[in-house]
Amino acid sequence: MDIDALAEIRRMVRRWREVAMLNVPTGRVVACDPFFTGAAKALSSTCKPGSYPVRLFRSGSGANSRISVAELVIDPDVEPKSVAPCPAEGGEAGFAVESGLAAFMDETARYDFSDFLASYYAKNPQKNYYVDRLDRYFSSYAGGEFRKISDAISHKFSPESPNIIMFQSGRGDGMYRTWVTRGAQGELASYLIDFTV
């Protein structure tokens, strides 16, 4: 992806929406599959601690409509002039999705959610956290019909931990790249997950 490709995505997507504000108390952002947080690492580019909006850009229509880009906007007043790969610390600029979901979260939430899920499954080995706790926010099934409710949620799994913003990952499972956009003076504008739809 380059700055022209980003501009083209924003021009061509059928619609975009702001999901929610993400609390980033450490300034260390994690982009990952929320059900595999134990192995995830924070992105190498840090931001100032604060709360930032997550926006989703969609492409296609009807049954072919998909999230094409997820963006964590750090400074809406900065016009992006460059786009570069944003690797995780000690890793690559991207991550694997195996649950059909991707997410932005603070490093604190990553650590806490990993422990939370481990504890949940230790106490409930036959249960599924997505089915038991999250599916009702994404979809419903009643009267023999499936109904989609949302493609993204802000999940607060613990009163003491920052929220996690989860969203459907483009075409589902796969490898997805992470990017960072910057202004003319190198100032941080946003983080991106490219779902290559």
The whole-model pTM stands at 0.88
Average pLDDT value for the chain: 87
Confidence check: pLDDT of 147 > 80: no
Residue 8 has pLDDT above 80, yes or no: no
pLDDT band, residue 138 (cuts 50/70/90): confident
Asked whether the predicted pLDDT for residue 10 surpasses 70, the reply is no
pLDDT at position 141 is 47
Beta bridge partners of 192: 71, 179
Give DSSP secondary structure letters for the chain: --HHHHHHHHHH-SEEEEEEEEEESSS-EEEE-GGGGGG---BSS---SEEEEEEEEEES-GGG-EEEEEEEES-TTSPP-EEEE-PBTTS-SEEEESSSEEEEEEHHHHHHHHHHHHHHHHH-TT--HIIIIIHHHHEEEETTEEEE--SEEEE---TTS--EEEEE-TTSSEEEEEEEEE-TTS-EEEEEEE---
* Per-residue b or e along 51-86, where b marks 16 or more CB atoms closer than 10 Å to that residue's CB: ebbbbbbbbeeeeeebbbbbbbbbbeebebeebeeb
Q: Does 14 have pLDDT greater than 60?
A: no
Q: Which pLDDT tens digit goes with each residue over 21-66?
A: 999 999 999 999 999 999 999 999 999 999 999 999 887 777 677 8
**Residue, of 14 and 100, whose pLDDT is higher:** 100
Give the closest residue to 52 by CA, choosing from 162, 161, 157: 162
